[in-house]
Structure 1
Amino acid sequence: MFKNNSNQVRAGWIIFLAFLAMFIAQQIFAIPGGVLLAIADFPFQDGNYNMDIMATFDRHPWIFLLTQGGGTVGGMLATVLLWRFVNKGTLRELGFSGPLKDLGFGLLLGAVSIAVIFFILLASGNVDMVNSFTKPEFTVYSLSFLVLFILVGFFEEMFFRGYVMSTMERRGNPKWLIYVVSAVVFSLVHGTNPNVSLLGLVNIALVGILFAYMFDATKSLWLPIGYHITWNYFQGNVFGFAVSGTAPHGIYNVSIEDGNTWLTGGPFGLEGGLLATLLIILGFFGTRLYVRMKAE
């Protein structure tokens, strides 16, 4: 039950224990932000205090960054330590290898994918712009969420692709199973997000398979990290859509009230729409083309 035919602890147990350790580390590293939030916001104002934690964080973007970003850093640190001392691997073996142009292509592909979805929705009348292209609204969120999404991109790819996939590969699991486990776990973790939808979870699993393919095809985390960062940032902080159900703070603001939910994704964000499904699939072709061009 606990060991495979080679007398090794099964990958599933290692990943499960790593997930627990990572989760605990996230909670510990998020504590300073939670304490600061209590100090900054818990004095009741006018006797009408809003106990909605996300609304509270919205009033304090830097505290939100300290809390969420701190938790993300904790998860990254736990992943690195587990990989080094439990898996006996190096950062290079975890996936930090290969040329940085992979990161650049990932950043470009993620940004272009979201931009294509946005312009299709705009041209088809499924979204309306609240402010024009000539009047972007830069706020503190434009910077704080850039930092946060960079951290999220690194952490989630380090764990769900680097750690999970490499651990399973070392135990001799078939490639299809490695892809599926990485993607399904990645999707399930997002299952507690606000306004979650079935199509949203399917798309997150699909993009998880895309990330797995990017990692496998390049033998590096740089490409999926880049795509992950700009996919999130352009969705929420450029074009103003919710990101996996979380509140948007875009430099452009859009209204989806008159749009088709199957296309816009509704309150869950673009990841809950069929256009995201299409662009994720096109991402496989873009990655394949890029890898072929690199090999020439």
Structure 2
Amino acid sequence: MNDNTALSEEVSPATHSIFIGPDGLRAGWSLLIFIVLMAASFSGVSAISRLLHLIPRKSAADAPVTPTFMYIAESLPFLATLLVTWIMSKIERRPNSVYGLGGNRKLPRFLAGLAWGVTCLTLLFLILWKTGLLVINSRLLFGSDIFRYGALWLVGFLLVGLLEEYVTRGYLQFTLTRGLTVLYQWAFETRHSKALGFWTSALIFSILFGLGHGKNPGESPIGLLAAGLASMVFCLSLWRTGSLWWAIGFHTSWDWAQSFLYGVADSGTMVQHHLLATHPFGKPLMSGGATGPEGSIYVLLILALVSLIILFTLPKERSSNE
């Protein structure tokens, strides 16, 4: 009995260290639990949606997206992500705010992102229009319909921004950064381990984010590259501010301006009830073709500009990431 007790005392610390590190549950186990819970929750959401016919069927793969479809297709997985992230915060005993939706300046950051998103997309639209690569055919909405559908689509793209940012740059980004930081500290004993961990995880998830757009209809190599680079740009805003709110605002208004305001494809996808009817003209590499403006080589210039905007307008909050 005494031997077993002694053995237990010898084994327990070693077993404990496999699961628990200096900052709590080790990142690898956290990621594994999170992925399992996300897979289960998404499967549950999908099953319930099919059972209750919550998500209406589109008539064709390239049919324009309706507001109802977007609301349900984006809000259900976002709520599932919120729930799983909250569960992980309880398991890890951390405040839920550390995973990207915290910060002291949520509304100002979000509104600034909104303003810059529509501004930068408008600049890209003007470049394509003035160079003859994009043609405006007609105006489709008039009077109160402009405000009604504009508001409907703004809420819809807010859900898109919340889902895509929180899934890819929320818990996953925080936790992989945490794990890689420990690895870099062990391997190189450098004071820059947090930065190395953050940008390594940012690169990994940005590549996955870009590749994830490959299933979109009409997507192109430049479009996939742009999606991946945009993800890195959004990570830059996260690094500077410690929160996702600027990126969520930018993501929301960028997609809204493309899809509703200017009536162009967003990664090959069109929506119903947009303001302008347009079509690309010329080589897809320059005009974006069926992908939309994000498929144009000019989008790379805009993304470089967005990086500069972040660097000059978002002061670094040291306590967030260092």
- TM-score of the two chains, using structure 2 as the length reference: 0.75
Q: Which residue of 1 aligns with 2:170?
A: 162
Q: CA deviation at 1:230?
A: 0.9
Indicate whether 1:92 and 2:97 are aligned. yes
Correspondences of 1:16-95 after superposition (within 5 Å) = 18-31=34-47, 33-35=49-51, 37=53, 52=60, 55=63, 58=65, 61-82=67-88, 84-95=89-100
In the alignment, structure 2 segments of 5+ residues that lack a partner are: 1-17, 182-195
1: CA distance, partners of 2:28 / 2:254: 29
Q: Which residue of 2 aligns with 1:251?
A: 275
1: CA distance, partners of 2:287 / 2:26: 41
Indicate whether 1:145 and 2:153 are aligned. yes
Q: Which residue of 1 aligns with 2:232?
A: 209
Cα-to-partner distance string for 1:12-54 (whole Å, 9 max, x where unaligned):
664465345334433433555545658977xxxxxxxx85356
- DSSP 3-state at the match of 2:314: helix
Q: Which residue of 1 aligns with 2:134?
A: 127
1: CA distance, partners of 2:95 / 2:310: 26
- Structure 2 letter corresponding to 1:222: W
Which range moves more in the overlay, 96-105 or 130-139? 130-139
Decide whether the 8 Å contact of 2:55 with 2:72 is kept in 1. Answer: no
Q: 1:10 to 1:197 in 2, by over 3 A?
A: farther
Decide whether the 8 Å contact of 1:105 with 1:223 is kept in 2. Answer: yes
Q: 1:294 to 1:90 in 2, by over 3 A?
A: closer
Matching residue within 243, 258, 264 for 2:287: 264
- TM-score of the two chains, using structure 1 as the length reference: 0.80
Cα-to-partner distance string for 1:37-96 (whole Å, 9 max, x where unaligned):
58977xxxxxxxx853563x84x64245324432333333333333x1344322321122
Decide whether the 8 Å contact of 2:242 with 2:317 is kept in 1. Answer: no
Q: 1:51 to 1:134 in 2, by over 3 A?
A: closer
Q: How many residues align?
A: 282
Q: 1:35 to 1:130 in 2, by over 3 A?
A: farther
1: CA distance, partners of 2:53 / 2:61: 10
- Structure 1 letter corresponding to 2:275: I
Q: CA deviation at 1:216?
A: 0.6
Q: 1:170 to 1:126 in 2, by over 3 A?
A: same
- Structure 2 letter corresponding to 1:253: A
Q: Which residue of 1 aligns with 2:220?
A: 197
1: CA distance, partners of 2:317 / 2:255: 26
Q: CA deviation at 1:186?
A: 1.7
- DSSP 3-state at the match of 1:125: coil
- DSSP 3-state at the match of 2:138: coil
RMSD of equivalent CA atoms: 3.4
Question: Larger Rg: 1 or 2?
Answer: 2
Indicate whether 1:275 and 2:280 are aligned. no
Identity of aligned residues (%): 24
Q: CA deviation at 1:201?
A: 1.2
Matching residue within 238, 262, 274 for 2:261: 238
Q: 1:104 to 1:117 in 2, by over 3 A?
A: same
Q: CA deviation at 1:265?
A: 1.7
